């Protein structure tokens, strides 16, 4: 069955830009499915760390990604049958995810899995390359960003809220390194997709960002572009 007529909203952006929260809420408001593509990279990273796979062994990492036994239920993420929602949010896992996400074989291994999330009545896809690589024909593409300081502060609150320890200057350093890696990798680098609406949320709350995205989507619907 073809899925090309199922609407997709892509929301890409740098680490800790608030994409996850905004994407979730947009999906909820529209009754759409939600793809957290970062979770797939995090799951692959967690699996590699647990199995002690050499992070230089591209072939073994791609195999892990290809054989990933994951499932999603609401906000919960499962690896095989274990709920790993909290474990995949650890900074070590995020950093490893960002490293292995630079490998083209790992990205290819996760490609098909991501396309399968496109189901009626629609999908909100959150990531780095949703609009540039995975769903390049999506009717609405958004690039969500914020200053590195605003993002570090958000990540700090998020980690503390989840019971992890966090240090602001380490976080800033990590974020900058991750931005650098995401933007400069040769495969699927982080950049706004062609035709993307760019939204800087440095001084904007979640609700306002959600309303903007919904407003763009409603305008497209009115023009019968979705």
- Where do contacts with ligand CDP occur on this chain (CB under 6 A)? 15-16, 37-39, 41-42, 94, 97-98, 101, 127-129, 178, 182
Measured from the CB atom, the residue of 37 and 139 that comes closer to ligand CDP is: 37
3 and 137 Cβ atoms separated by less than 8 Å? no
What is the smallest separation between the CB atom of 55 and ligand CDP, expressed in angstroms?
Answer: 14
SS3 90: coil
What is the smallest separation between the CB atom of 87 and ligand CDP, expressed in angstroms?
Answer: 13
HSE at residue 42, side-chain half, CA atoms within 13 A, is 20
Q: Given the structure tokens 């990492």, which residue do they identify?
A: 61
Residue with CB nearest ligand CDP? 38
The DSSP string of 152-199 is: HHHHHHHHHHTT----HHHHHHHHHHHHHHHHH-SSS---PPTTPEEE
What is the smallest separation between the CB atom of 138 and ligand CDP, expressed in angstroms?
Answer: 13
Measured from the CB atom, the residue of 154 and 212 that comes closer to ligand CDP is: 154
Q: d(Cα 197, Cα 209) in Å, to the nearest integer?
A: 12
Measured from the CB atom, the residue of 1 and 116 that comes closer to ligand CDP is: 116
What is the smallest separation between the CB atom of 224 and ligand CDP, expressed in angstroms?
Answer: 29
The DSSP string of 101-120 is: TT-HHHHHHHHHHHHTT--T
Measured from the CB atom, the residue of 60 and 113 that comes closer to ligand CDP is: 113
Measured from the CB atom, the residue of 57 and 111 that comes closer to ligand CDP is: 111
What is the smallest separation between the CB atom of 223 and ligand CDP, expressed in angstroms?
Answer: 28
């Amino acid at each position: 069955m073809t899925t090309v007529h199922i609407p997709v909203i892509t929301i890409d952006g740098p680490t800790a830009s608030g994409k996850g929260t905004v994407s979730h809420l947009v999906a909820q408001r529209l009754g759409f499915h939600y793809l957290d593509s970062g979770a797939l990279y995090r799951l692959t990273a967690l699996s590699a760390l647990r199995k002690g796979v050499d992070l230089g062994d591209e072939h073994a990492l791609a195999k892990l990604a290809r054989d990933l036994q994951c499932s999603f239920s609401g906000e919960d993420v499962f690896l095989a049958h274990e709920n790993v929602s909290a474990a995949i949010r650890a900074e070590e896992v995020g950093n490893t995810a960002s490293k292995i996400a630079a490998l083209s074989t790992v990205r290819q291994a996760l490609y098909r899995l991501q396309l399968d999330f496109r189901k009626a009545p629609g999908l909100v896809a959150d990531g780095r390359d949703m609009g540039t690589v995975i769903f390049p024909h999506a009717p609405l593409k958004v690039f969500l960003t914020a200053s590195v300081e605003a993002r570090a502060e958000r990540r700090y609150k998020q980690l503390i809220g989840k019971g992890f320890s966090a240090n602001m200057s380490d976080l800033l350093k990590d974020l900058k390194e991750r931005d650098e890696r995401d933007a400069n990798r040769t495969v699927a680098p982080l950049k706004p997709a062609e035709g993307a609406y760019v939204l800087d949320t440095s001084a904007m709350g979640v609700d306002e960002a959600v309303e903007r995205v919904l407003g763009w989507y409603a305008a497209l619907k009115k023009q019968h572009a979705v």
